[in-house]
Structure formats: C-alpha cells, structure tokens
Structure 1
C-alpha cells in the first residue's frame, strides 16, 4: 500500500524498492484528526481515499508502539 504523505514514494510500484511498513490511520476520531492536520493535503484528497496509510519514514522511533 502506498503512503498518503505528499511526495512520498514508499511502496510505489514504479520505484522497485523493498516494502516499507505502513500504519493505518487511527479509528479514534480525535487522534485521526491530528494525523490529518499533520499531513498537508487538500481536504478533498481525504474524502476520495477509503483507506489512509502513512509509512514508517514519517514517524520517530519513540512514537511507534511495538507489540511483541
């Protein structure tokens, strides 16, 4: 799946790079809105996409919760 962040080419088929982990947007409304505000895209883009993903390149390591 491709990353929603503008200009990010992670997981684009044309890049031929190895897979980059992605995170689905949170289902919690408040947290989801924070993600939308942090990613500068036209509002219409969000309404057109059904599934929103951001790749690991846009997170700090300390912001990632790893369940082992």
Structure 2
C-alpha cells in the first residue's frame, strides 16, 4: 500500500454485541450465542427490584442496558415456541443468580465456553 492511499473502513452490519450490566459479569453476545439478554422492565416496582438484586444503586438505565440470562433461574425463562422465536422472561421475574468471582480466576474465558 502506498503512503498516499487512503484507507476506508466499512461498518460491519449485524455485529452489534450486547453486554450484561451486572457487576463483574463479563458475558457478552460476542463470545456466547447461547446467552440471552433482557431489557429492564417498564414497571417501576419490578425495575427497582432488579436494581436492588444486581447491586447497582446508581445505575443509569438506557435503551441498551441489559441483564444476561445467566442471572435468572431456569423456571423464570420461557423458551421459544418456534425455531425463530426468542426467549422471554416470565412476568415478575427478578435476577437471582450471581456467582462469587475472585480476581485470580480467568472467568471471562470460562464463561465464553458455555
């Protein structure tokens, strides 16, 4: 490539990654296609329960703030009825599963394998 050539970058389509907002949860859709990501509920009381459960007091909830399916009990998640359907949360579901993580383990690599 000549020095005078201009490099153009193309925006990749369909490669947006989602991230979990739970503290110390490194899960993203980039490394794991089997994890679902759920929006915060619109109901104020249920939203407050989510914020307390994930231990984020000053969380600014935006359109892309998500919690991954690893923090919900299996019975709280409805599996899709068809192949192209999406997983949904049952009404009133609150995140309840949090694993204690140490700074010494390589949790990111381990979670990407699931």
TM-score (norm 2): 0.48
Aligned residue in 2 for 1:11: 28
Which ranges of structure 2 fall in alignment gaps of 5 or more residues?
1-17, 82-114
Which ranges of structure 1 fall in alignment gaps of 5 or more residues?
none
State the SS of the aligned residue for 2:78.
coil
Quote the RMSD (CA, aligned, Å). 1.9
Residue 56, structure 1, aligned to residue 72, structure 2: no
More helix by share: 1
Structure showing greater relative contact order (alpha-carbon pairs closer than 8 Å, 6 or more residues apart)? 1
Aligned length: 62
